[in-house]
A and B are shown apart, each in its own frame.
Chain A
Amino acid sequence: MTPLAGYLLVAALLFSIGLAGALTRRNAILVLIGIELMLNAANLNLIAFWRYGPHPEALTGMMFAIFSIAVAAAEAAVGLGLVIQIHRHAHTTDLDAMNRMKG
């Protein structure tokens, strides 16, 4: 198995762990944690291909990953702000209890 395949498998594993967490946990913040794990797994994929792929354009993969890190940080901030405001309104972060639009 080539090194690139190893990194891609690790990234796939992390992605599915993040997905499993985002789909199965009750707390909204843990869903956001799962999403962050998925974004990180995608970044690992990008950097692995940047390192082991052909290099006609030596910077693309690295740039993509850096922009992805920046955007993920912004998205985490806004998402957590939303979770805090929802908690203030509904006094809970339990997603199973928040399955209606009313209230």
Chain B
Amino acid sequence: MSVVFYLLAALTVAGGLAAMLLKNTVHCALALTVAFAGLALLFLNLDAQFAGFAQILVYIGAVAILVVFAILLTRGSETPKDGVFSRTWLTGLAIAAAVFAVLGWAVIGSARVLPHETAVPAVTVQQIGVALVGRYVLPLEIVGVLLTAALIGAVIVAMHEKVEHEKEEQK
């Protein structure tokens, strides 16, 4: 278990914790970006180059910016009067702690039977490309349709409904 892994794990977990604990929403979004970057580096540490770069391109380059835009459009930078944690925060924390306990117990309990291949799976980008249009062509097309639906849906959901306001004013 190398030093690099511990550093990256610490960075990612710190980013995640900061994302969930900070008061200022934009700071939370930026901490989330740090967590994404830490995860991308963990992917690179696992020799998954394509997944690591795709993670940076999609999550840091698009999702983080989306989150930040949404925070700005909903005036999220103003701290609410009643604090940032909900009334039922203790229950939520207990549930999350229980989930972590179960997962941790499962991992540590099965540590002996976990597989441990030392050879890196030799995957080139060309193989990924060939697989995407060969074996995985159906998921690829479905994800394409899904992304188109999400694009159109997000635009429709977030669109300004000016027409209805004008009609109401005329009445």
Contacts and interface: CB of A to CB of B under 8 A. Distances in A.
Interface in A55-85: 55, 58-59, 62-63, 65-67, 69-78, 80-85
Interface residues of B, number: 86
A1 B1 contact: yes
A87 B160 CA distance: 12
B143 A15 contact: no
Interface in A1-35: 1-10, 12-27, 29-30, 32-34
Chain B, interface SS category: helix
B103 A34 contact: no
B157 A85 contact: yes
Interface residues of A, number: 73
Main secondary structure of the interface of A (DSSP, over half): helix
A24 B19 contact: no
B20 A2 contact: no
A54 B115 contact: yes
A29 to B, nearest CB: 6
Contacts of B135: 59
Given A6-B5, A50-B48, A76-B67, A14 B13 contact: yes
Contact of A14 (B12, B55, B62, B147): B12
12 contacts: A4-B116, A9-B104, A17-B16, A20-B97, A21-B19, A51-B48, A59-B121, A65-B48, A76-B63, A85-B157, A96-B82, A96-B87
4 pairs of A and B residues whose beta carbons are closest in the complex: A23-B92, A21-B20, A20-B96, A16-B100
Interface of A: 1-10, 12-27, 29-30, 32-34, 36-37, 40, 43-44, 47-55, 58-59, 62-63, 65-67, 69-78, 80-85, 87, 93-96
